[in-house]
């Protein structure tokens, strides 16, 4: 993705010059856009433009004489490769927080930030003693980026009620009732996924995530205001939205916030830019900090959305079987990028396919050791004999979003024992999480150790979470639920979908990850004194038997694996041709001790 014709090494000087003009010593730029999203349009790739870093999480701080880029454990190697070392320091944001770096390098200085790109939670994390953080009306990066791409302007689309499972009017009434109970008059909606869910709309403003860039105000009456250029809203769509949803140009936003003077307005400090709170307070409104009321009901899929997820995964299972069979048949010599195109092509055989849900991670050998590696034409590896291949991908369908990872052994000779052992320990973790039953009220972090236990026994681990939420024809990463060591309090509830993706990574050698998606459902345990929950596996794709050390599996784990493979064959085989059926029969054959 070419963001600019301005040479990368000249961009920091341009931003520093703009900072001087604007009266600050430096500037903090996060990865997100005006909607604080994980995935952003090319015009909002400010961090990538300035630093060269294209990861989906991170920030940069630029000062007169020094500068630094921060990201988490998923992207530390990518930062080393993409960010020029002579221009930028590189730091692990958890181990070396931005606040510590500011404290060491920006004492007594004014450091600017764009209040439209920063939440209150982000701002709090950056605060450092004797460093003044200054909100700026003009973004120095936007001033320096003279050939910035145009903002997206595609049409707003309707997500039909028969796919959403509930009308927008019903959703708005539910949330309006919650606002009334909290004695709040309105709520700001800055998260585009919340806006899409609440109004049952979709769009094309962000690659691979069907979102519309816009803001919303939900009133306690159940009426709503949608801030998006009216020319982007077809007459049919505005008719479906109805008279209780006012469509306003974004230029009206500040005036509409001022009209809330004297009102109590709910603002999520994590998902909403601080500009909203400042503007509301200046207008005389009472800002009430509280979570986005859309977040939890969006995560709890209704029965229609659950069926849609099953349907999407059924199509994905067919596509993955065709893909994996073709990889085995082709053998070596394929480029990582060719494999991405091939998988995208077999998914596209389904008329309902709408594209990838994220940039597929297609990684041969050492590249697999980078959990969020992205292959590029001309720099990608070729599938070689005696290599481990990891493919992490997903699809968007009008009724569901998918995400699945499989790791394969490519070679005429058996995989080395140490690779098979590592893979099998990852598999044991995946099985443990798939099988667990847990009491109602259990948050995801209490289950995380189950996925790591077999790895820990051998002194192994992985530096990423085990599971994230998944949207319904929305973002492939969706909160508030997750499964990770981070102690997030949100309890897993029936209808939530989470990924199950333990892994192991040997730097310079290979990466291993096995991922299925799981649906939380009620569990029946005879004699239980309280209600329990369990998982329904949604993903049905063979797990490579060439990497399994059967002797490391106990009888319960082996039975689960054989039952899973039998179900894969039952579901997928009727929908593929004879060659793939034959491959499935071998790939799903029972394993024995």
Q: How far is CA 287 from the centre of its chain?
A: 29
- What does the H/E/C string look like for 57-79? CCEEEECCCCEEEEECCCCHHHH
CA separation for the pair 22, 24 (Å, rounded) = 6
**Residues 125-169: pLDDT tens digits?**
999 999 999 999 999 999 999 999 999 999 999 999 999 999 999
Helices (H) and strands (E) in the chain, counts: 19, 27
Q: Quick one: which H or E segment has residue 571? A: helix 555-572
Q: Are 64 and 26 in contact (CB under 8 A)?
A: yes
Strands (E), 190-237: 201-202, 215-219, 224-227
Angle (CA) 306 362 379, round 5° = 150
**Domains in the chain, start-ordered, CATH in brackets?**
8-144 (3.40.350.10), 157-298 (3.40.350.10), 301-587 (3.90.230.10)
Low-confidence ranges of the chain (pLDDT < 50): none
- Among all chains, which residue has been given the structure tokens 């080393």? 80
Q: Are 309 and 538 in contact (CB under 8 A)?
A: yes
- Cis amide linkage into residue 556, ω under 30° from 0: no
**Residues 524-554: pLDDT tens digits?**
988 888 999 999 999 999 999 999 999 999 9
| DSSP reduced 3-state for 501 | coil
**Residue 572's pLDDT is what?**
98
**Half-sphere exposure at residue 166, Cβ-oriented, CA atoms within 13 angstroms:** 20
C-alpha distances in Å from residue 450, one per residue of 435, 479, 517, 535, 562: 10, 21, 16, 14, 20
Q: How far is CA 352 from the centre of its chain?
A: 22
DSSP string, 3-65: --SS-GGGHHHHHHHHHHHHT-SEEEEES--TT--SS--GGG-HHHHHH----SS-EEEE-SS
Phi/psi at 7 (5° precision): -55, 140
**Half-sphere exposure at residue 215, Cβ-oriented, CA atoms within 13 angstroms:** 24
**Residue 480's pLDDT is what?**
96
C-alpha distances in Å from residue 219, one per residue of 184, 377, 529: 9, 49, 42
**Residues 114-132: pLDDT tens digits?**
999 999 989 999 999 999 9
pTM for the structure as a whole: 0.93
C-alpha distances in Å from residue 512, one per residue of 319, 433, 462: 21, 17, 10
């Amino acid at each position: 993705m070419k963001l600019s014709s301005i040479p990368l090494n000249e961009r920091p000087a341009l931003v520093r010059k703009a900072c001087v003009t604007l009266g600050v010593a430096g500037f903090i730029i996060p990865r997100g856009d005006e909607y604080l999203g994980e995935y952003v349009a090319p015009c909002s790739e400010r961090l990538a433009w300035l630093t060269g870093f294209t990861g989906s999480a991170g920030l940069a701080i630029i000062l007169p004489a020094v500068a630094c880029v921060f990201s988490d454990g998923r992207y530390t190697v990518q930062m080393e490769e993409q960010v020029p070392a002579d221009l930028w320091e590189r730091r692990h944001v958890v181990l070396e927080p931005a606040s510590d770096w500011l404290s060491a390098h920006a004492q007594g200085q004014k450091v600017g930030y764009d209040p439209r790109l920063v939440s209150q939670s982000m701002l709090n994390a950056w605060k450092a003693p004797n460093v003044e953080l200054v909100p700026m009306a003009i973004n120095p990066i936007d001033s320096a980026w003279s050939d910035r791409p145009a903002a997206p302007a595609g049409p707003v689309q309707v997500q039909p009620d028969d796919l959403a499972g509930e009308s927008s009017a019903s959703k708005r009434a539910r949330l309006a009732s919650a606002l009334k109970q909290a004695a709040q008059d309105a709520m700001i909606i800055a998260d585009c996924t919340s806006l899409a869910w609440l109004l049952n709309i979709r769009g094309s403003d962000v690659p691979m995530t069907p979102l519309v860039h816009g803001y919303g105000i939900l009133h306690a009456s159940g009426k709503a205001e949608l801030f998006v250029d009216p020319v982007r809203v077809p007459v049919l769509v505005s008719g479906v939205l109805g008279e209780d949803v006012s469509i306003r140009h974004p230029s009206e936003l500040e005036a509409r916030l001022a009209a809330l003077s004297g009102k109590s307005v709910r603002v999520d400090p994590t998902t909403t830019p601080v500009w909203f709170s400042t503007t509301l307070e200046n207008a005389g409104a009472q800002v009430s900090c509280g979570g986005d009321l859309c977040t939890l009901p969006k995560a709890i899929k209704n029965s229609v959305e659950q069926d849609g997820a099953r349907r999407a995964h059924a199509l994905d299972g067919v596509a993955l079987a065709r893909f994996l069979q073709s990889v085995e048949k082709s053998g070596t010599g394929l480029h990582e990028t060719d494999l991405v195109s091939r998988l995208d092509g077999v998914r596209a055989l389904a008329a309902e396919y709408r594209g990838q849900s994220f940039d597929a991670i297609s990684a041969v050998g050492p590249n697999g050791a980078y959990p969020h590696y992205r292959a590029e034409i001309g720099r990608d590896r070729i599938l070689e004999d005696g290599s481990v291949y990891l493919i992490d991908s997903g699809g968007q369908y009008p009724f569901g979003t998918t995400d699945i990872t499989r790791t394969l052994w490519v070679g005429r000779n058996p995989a080395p024992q140490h690779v098979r052992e590592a893979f099998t320990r990852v598999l044991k973790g995946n099985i443990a999480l798939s099988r667990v039953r847990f009491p109602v009220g259990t948050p995801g972090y209490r289950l995380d150790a189950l996925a790591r236990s077999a790895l820990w026994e051998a002194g192994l681990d992985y530096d990423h979470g085990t599971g994230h939420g998944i949207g319904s024809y929305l973002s492939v990463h969706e909160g508030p639920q997750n499964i990770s060591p981070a102690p997030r309090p949100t309890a897993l509830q029936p209808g939530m979908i989470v990924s199950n993706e333990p892994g192991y990574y040997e730097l310079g050698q290979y990466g291993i990850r096995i991922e299925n998606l799981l649906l939380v459902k009620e569990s029946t345990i005879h004699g239980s004194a309280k209600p329990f929950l369990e998982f329904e596996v949604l993903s049905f794709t063979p797990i490579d038997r060439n990497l399994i050390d059967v002797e490391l599996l106990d009888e319960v784990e082996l039975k689960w694996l054989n039952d899973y493979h039998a179900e894969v064959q039952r579901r997928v085989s009727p929908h593929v041709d004879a060659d793939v059926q034959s491959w499935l029969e071998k790939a799903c054959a029972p394993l024995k001790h």
